[in-house]
Amino acid sequence: MSHRPSSPSPCRRSLLRGSLVVPAALTVPALSGAAPALALRGRPSADWGVQAGDVGAHSGLVWVRSDRPARMIVETSATESFRRPTRWRGPLLGPRTDFTGTTRLRGLPAGEQIHYRVLLADPDDPRRTGKPVTGTFRTTSLRRRDDVRFLWSGDIAGQGWGINPELGGWRVYEEMRGRNPDFFLCSGDNIYADGPIQASVKLPDGRVWKNITTPEKSKVAETLAEFRGNFRYNLLDEHVRRFNAQVPSIVQWDDHEVRNNWYPGQILEDPRYTEKDVDVLAGRSLRAFSEYYPISTQRPGDRDGRVYRVLRHGPLLDVFVLDMRTYRNANSPNRQPEDTTGILGAEQLAWLKRELSRSRAVWKVIASDMPLGLVVGDGQTNFEAVAQGDPGAPLGRELQIAELLRHIKHRRITGTVWLTADVHYTSAQHYDPSRAAFKDFAPFWEFVSGPLAAGGFPAVKLDGTFGPDQTFVKAPDRANTSPAETPPYYGEVDIDGDSGELTVRLRQQGGGVLFTKVLQPGRVGQ
């Protein structure tokens, strides 16, 4: 990787050391309650760290949370000394957004390391500011010869496996930070709003898993405050905060941001919930999601924000972020011969076809929060993802995917690669019409990673409709293995600026590379 050191440079490491003062043992922000203290004395504090997200060539978003009402101010510089910084006046942080705020930075230089610091100012006395919290990110390069590296994974704090201080917390984030990626793609299930975390869980071998707990994580999330507390829980981990200060994110969502296997219009029968209307829960979750991540969810004309979007990463890469949750039809046996809603909804599908056709990037990564050919069930007869186990012609949600794949072939769109998580193991599938019941598409690859911090699960079956061949899979042999038994998985993508080759590596924490695949640019059927 010609433009990237193998580990963060000394100046970047010193910058990050200054961003959060913590002892060697796992520490958590002082403010672990549902709402910050509204103290009249002292200065505003940003104990939850900073994050950058949706970074482009000339812009990016910076996030912070205050411990009290404050004005968000961001300063940027080409160096960590912050000589002659550029200042950005951000929003006023208060109870309406749970004291969180995001500031969009514009007019940044392309392909450069941006150092930033966030100051929180007293609204009544702007001269009174808290201690600056610092971070850094690289803007997208517009030069064809500059390499790109990013990581992806998903599934965090699930199945009751939370932050274990006896194991040092979520150390996988420190390992990923050491890979020095340009950005991190989180493929959904950032939280498990339906998965309470208890103080301890007994493991099959007699050991006891210990969790950090909070009131909001002690029950299923229903109120806005409880959803906010679920997103805040991840920030209790020092490795996450340090990772966020160095690596910008591209975040999407899936079911566990609300509830397992949810779909619009669903009415719950789960006795744990007093609020039975999933649409109400989803609205609260989307609001908290938008508050706790630096994400461009709001577009002109959007009433409640939008998760699906495309992020341009220079000549080599476009990332198409899908939302397979908000616009889907109800989970069912998924065998209907006609289906215009599918898993994306008609409007999102039209958007995706249009944006893929417009893309001039060498590689088009489709960030899919659910896999295409893996059979993910919902109960005894219904199905949760695209496939339903019938290897014949497309039915149900498969019809929409067939339409998309046909469009990609006939418009001669090259370089599509699908990345996903969701199933809590790691695998690689190659789809080819020569093996498929539906044949009007060009071959492509799908790579699966995760979980980062959740239970591991056995591999599910493949559906033959689009002709998948599983060239690699690593999964536990029983359900809900703890992270102590099944170390976290994450994926890495390197795009070489000279050759244009895209290399995918499926990784396991502490175990190095499990699988590698090199793809050539501009080719069909690889």
Nearest of 430, 443, 415 to residue 319 by alpha carbon: 415
- Residue 191 and residue 252 in one domain: yes
- Residue 295 and residue 341 in one domain: yes
Q: What is the pLDDT of residue 13?
A: 33
The yes-or-no verdict on residue 2 having pLDDT over 60 is no
What would the mean pLDDT of 237-247 be, rounded to a whole number? 98
The last residue of a domain, from among 118, 139, 160: 139
The yes-or-no verdict on residue 394 having pLDDT over 80 is yes
Helices (H), 21-156: none
Q: Is 461 inside a domain boundary?
A: yes
What would the mean pLDDT of 215-229 be, rounded to a whole number? 98
Residue 217: what residue type?
A: K
Q: Is 183 inside a domain boundary?
A: yes
Q: What is the pLDDT of residue 18?
A: 32
Q: ∠431-434-438 over CA atoms, to 5°? A: 75
Reported confidence tier of residue 134, pLDDT bands at 50, 70, 90: very high
The yes-or-no verdict on residue 451 having pLDDT over 80 is yes
Q: Is 288 inside a domain boundary?
A: yes
Q: Is 7 inside a domain boundary?
A: no
CATH code for the domain of 325: 3.60.21.70
- Residue 222 and residue 84 in one domain: no
- Cis peptide bond prior to 488, omega within 30° of 0: no
Q: Is 5 inside a domain boundary?
A: no
Q: Of all residues in the chain, what percent carry a pLDDT higher than 90?
A: 88
What would the mean pLDDT of 430-439 be, rounded to a whole number? 98
- Residue 405 and residue 493 in one domain: yes
Q: Is 260 inside a domain boundary?
A: yes
What would the mean pLDDT of 361-374 be, rounded to a whole number? 97
DSSP string, 155-203: -BS-TT----GGGTS-THHHHHHHT--SEEEE-S----TT----SEEE-
Residue 244: CB partners within 8 Å, gap ≥ 6?
49, 50, 51, 52, 135, 235
- Residue 355 and residue 410 in one domain: yes
Reported confidence tier of residue 146, pLDDT bands at 50, 70, 90: very high
In tens, the pLDDT along 272-283 reads: 999 999 999 999
- Residue 364 and residue 433 in one domain: yes
Q: What is the pLDDT of residue 306?
A: 87
- Residue 317 and residue 194 in one domain: yes
Within 10 A of 207 (CB to CB), how many other CB atoms are there?
13
Q: What is the pLDDT of residue 523?
A: 74
Judging by DSSP bridges, how do beta strands 317-321 and 309-313 pair with one another? antiparallel
Q: Of all residues in the chain, what percent carry a pLDDT higher than 70?
A: 90
Q: How many domains does the chain have?
A: 2
- Domain hosting 488: range is 148-519
The last residue of a domain, from among 139, 164, 179: 139
Q: Are 228 and 291 in contact (CB under 8 A)?
A: yes
Average pLDDT, the chain: 92
Q: What is the pLDDT of residue 299?
A: 53
Q: ∠261-262-268 over CA atoms, to 5°? A: 110
CATH code for the domain of 86: 2.60.40.380
> Tokens 């999330």 sit at which residue?
221
Q: Is 34 inside a domain boundary?
A: no
The yes-or-no verdict on residue 157 having pLDDT over 50 is yes
What would the mean pLDDT of 331-347 be, rounded to a whole number? 97
- Residue 426 and residue 470 in one domain: yes
- Residue 254 and residue 237 in one domain: yes
- Residue 276 and residue 361 in one domain: yes
In tens, the pLDDT along 10-37 reads: 343 333 333 333 333 466 676 444 445 4
- The DSSP code for 45 is -
> Tokens 């699988």 sit at which residue?
515
What would the mean pLDDT of 142-171 be, rounded to a whole number? 97
The yes-or-no verdict on residue 40 having pLDDT over 70 is no
Reported confidence tier of residue 511, pLDDT bands at 50, 70, 90: confident
Q: Is 192 inside a domain boundary?
A: yes
Across 101-110, 304-313, 442-451, 461-470, least confident range: 304-313
- Residue 131 and residue 179 in one domain: no
Rg of the Cα trace of the chain? 22
What would the mean pLDDT of 484-507 be, rounded to a whole number? 97
- Residue 307 and residue 232 in one domain: yes
What would the mean pLDDT of 497-519 be, rounded to a whole number? 97
What would the mean pLDDT of 166-191 be, rounded to a whole number? 97
The last residue of a domain, from among 117, 139, 161: 139
In tens, the pLDDT along 401-426 reads: 999 999 999 999 999 999 999 999 99
Widest distance between CA atoms in the chain: 70
The yes-or-no verdict on residue 177 having pLDDT over 60 is yes
